[in-house]
Amino acid sequence: MLIFGRQFLIGISFGICYLLGCSLAYDGNSYQPSSPPTVYIHDSSFHPDRILRVTTQVYPLDCTTRYSVVINGSIPGPELRFREGDKIWIRVYNDIKDENLTIHWHGLTMRMSPFSDGTPAASQWPIPPMHFFDYEFELQSGDAGTYFYHSHVGFGAVTAYGALIIEERVKDSPPFVYDDERTLVLTDIFYRNDSDIVGGLMGDPFLWSGETFNVALNGHSRSPNATADKESTSCSYGVVTVKPSTTYRFRFIGGTVLSHVFLAFEGHGSMTVIEVDGHYVSPVEVDHIEIGSGQRFSVLFKSKSIEELSVDRINGKDQYWLQMETRTRALITVSFAVLAYSDADIPDRFTKPTTPPLLLPTESFTSGWLEDELWPLPSRPYDDSFPQASEVTRRIFINVQQNFNVNGTKKVMWHQNGAPWFENSVPEPYLVSLYKNSKSAFPDYENALKHGGYDTKTKTYPAKLGEVLEIIWQNVGNTQSGTVETHPFHAHGDHYWDAGCGTGSYSETVAEAMLQDRMRYGGPIKRDTTNLYRTPPATTTTPGAIVSWRAWRLRVRNPGVWMVHCHIVQHMMMGMQAVFVFGGKNDLKPLTKEQAALYLEFGGQAYGNATYSPRVVHFWHD
Which domains does the chain carry?
Answer: 2-61+87-138+590-618 (no CATH), 180-373 (2.60.40.420), 389-587 (2.60.40.420)
Q: Which of 315-319, 347-351, 403-407, 410-414 has the lowest mean pLDDT?
A: 347-351
Mean pLDDT of 568-588: 92
User: With DSSP H G I counted as helix, E B as strand and the rest as coil, what are the percentages for the chain, rounded to 5?
Assistant: 15, 40, 50
According to the model, what pLDDT value does residue 12 have? 28
When the pLDDT of each residue in the chain is averaged and rounded to a whole number, the result is 90
Q: Angle 402-292-144 (CA atoms, 0-180°, nearest 5)?
A: 130
According to the model, what pLDDT value does residue 354 have? 83
Going by C-beta distance under 8 Å and a sequence separation of 6 or more, which residues neighbour residue 393? 467, 468, 469
Q: Which of 560, 614, 619 is nearest to 584 (CA)?
A: 560
Helices (H) and strands (E) in the chain, counts: 8, 37
For residue 365, name the pLDDT band (cuts at 50, 70, 90).
low
According to the model, what pLDDT value does residue 11 have? 28
Q: Which of 249-263, 332-346, 463-477 has the lowest mean pLDDT?
A: 332-346
For residue 200, name the pLDDT band (cuts at 50, 70, 90).
very high
CA distance 121 to 284: 39
AA identity, residue 604: G
Q: Residue 621: how many CB atoms within 10 A of its CB?
A: 15
Instruction: Specify the higher pLDDT residue, 273 or 35.
Output: 273
Mean pLDDT of 467-484: 97
pLDDT digits (tens, 9 = 90+) for 506-528: 999 999 999 999 998 889 999 99
Q: What percent of the chain has pLDDT over 70?
A: 90
According to the model, what pLDDT value does residue 7 have? 27
Q: What percent of the chain has pLDDT over 90?
A: 76
Q: Which of 125-139, 234-248, 453-467, 587-601 has the lowest mean pLDDT?
A: 587-601
- DSSP-assigned letter for residue 456: T
For residue 133, name the pLDDT band (cuts at 50, 70, 90).
very high
Going by C-beta distance under 8 Å and a sequence separation of 6 or more, which residues neighbour residue 19? 114, 431, 434, 559, 560, 561, 581, 582, 583, 587, 588, 589
Q: Which of 362, 370, 319, 327 is nearest to 215 (CA)?
A: 327
Q: Is the pLDDT of residue 348 over 70?
A: no
**Helix, coil or strand: residue 390:** helix
Q: Is the pLDDT of residue 599 over 50?
A: yes
According to the model, what pLDDT value does residue 296 have? 99
Instruction: Specify the higher pLDDT residue, 235 or 81.
Output: 81
CA distance 549 to 505: 6
Mean pLDDT of 61-79: 97
Q: Which of 259, 265, 344 is nearest to 310 (CA)?
A: 344
For residue 362, name the pLDDT band (cuts at 50, 70, 90).
confident
CA distance 417 to 431: 24
Going by C-beta distance under 8 Å and a sequence separation of 6 or more, which residues neighbour residue 262? 288, 289, 290, 324, 325, 326, 327, 360, 361
What is 206-255 written as a DSSP string? Answer: -------SEEEETTB---TT--TT--SGGGS--EEEE-TT-EEEEEEEE-
Give phi and psi for 489, each to the nearest 5. -85, 130
Q: Is the pLDDT of residue 14 over 50?
A: no
According to the model, what pLDDT value does residue 15 have? 37
Q: Angle 279-370-80 (CA atoms, 0-180°, nearest 5)?
A: 40
Do the beta carbons of residue 305 and residue 283 sit within 8 Å?
no
Burial 409-445 (b: 16+ CB within 10 A, else e): eebbbbbbbeebbebeebeebbbbbbbeebeebbbee
Do the beta carbons of residue 438 and residue 17 sit within 8 Å?
yes
**Helix, coil or strand: residue 571:** helix
